Amino acid sequence: MCQLQVTCSFFRKPANYAPDFALSLCELAAFDMCMKRAIFKPMTTEEMQELKQRCGGSWKLVLRYLLAGEGCCRREKSQAIAGPGHSIGVTSKGNVYSFGSNSSGQLGHGTTEEEWRPRPIRTLQGIRIIQATAGAGRTMLITDSGRVYAFGKDSFGEAEYGGQGSKTVTTPQLVESLKNIFVVQATIGNFFTAVLSREGRVYTFSWGSDGKLGHHTDSNDTEPRPLLGALEDIPVVQIAAGYCYLLCLACQPSG
Query: What gap in Å lies between CA 192 and CA 245, rounded to an integer?
Result: 9
- The count of other CB atoms within 10 Å of the CB of residue 159 is 19
Rounded to 10°, the helix 59-73/45-54 angle is: 90
Give the pLDDT band (50/70/90) at residue 91. Answer: very high
Tell me what the mean pLDDT of segment 133-145 comes to: 92
Give backbone dihedrals phi and psi of 226, rounded to 5 degrees, phi first. Answer: -65, 145
pLDDT digits (tens, 9 = 90+) for 171-230: 999 988 888 999 999 999 887 889 999 989 999 887 544 444 555 555 555 678 888 888
Scanning 164-231, the segments in alpha helix (DSSP H) are: none
Could you tell me if 216 and 229 are in contact, meaning their C-beta atoms sit under 8 angstroms apart? no
Query: What gap in Å lies between CA 114 and CA 127, rounded to an integer?
Result: 24
> How far is the first Cα of the chain from the last one, in angstroms, to the nearest whole number?
18
Residue 99 has pLDDT above 90, yes or no: yes
Give the pLDDT band (50/70/90) at residue 164. Answer: very low
Which of residues 255 and 139 earns the better pLDDT score?
Answer: 139
Categorise residue 137: left if φ over 0, alpha if ψ from -120 to 50, beta otherwise. left
Average model confidence (pLDDT) for the chain?
Answer: 81
Q: CA of 14: how far to CAs of 10, 29, 220, 252, in Å?
A: 8, 12, 52, 32
In the chain, % of residues over pLDDT 90: 38
Could you tell me if 185 and 196 are in contact, meaning their C-beta atoms sit under 8 angstroms apart? yes
Which residues touch 243 (CB under 8 Å, ≥6 apart)? 189, 190
Q: Tell me how far apart the 2 most distant CA atoms of the chain are, in Å.
A: 64
Query: What gap in Å lies between CA 77 and CA 177, rounded to an integer?
Result: 26
Query: What gap in Å lies between CA 158 and CA 206, rounded to an integer?
Result: 12
pLDDT, residue 162, reads 40
Residue 140 has pLDDT above 70, yes or no: yes
SS3 call for 172: strand
Could you tell me if 156 and 202 are in contact, meaning their C-beta atoms sit under 8 angstroms apart? no
Tell me what the mean pLDDT of segment 150-168 comes to: 57
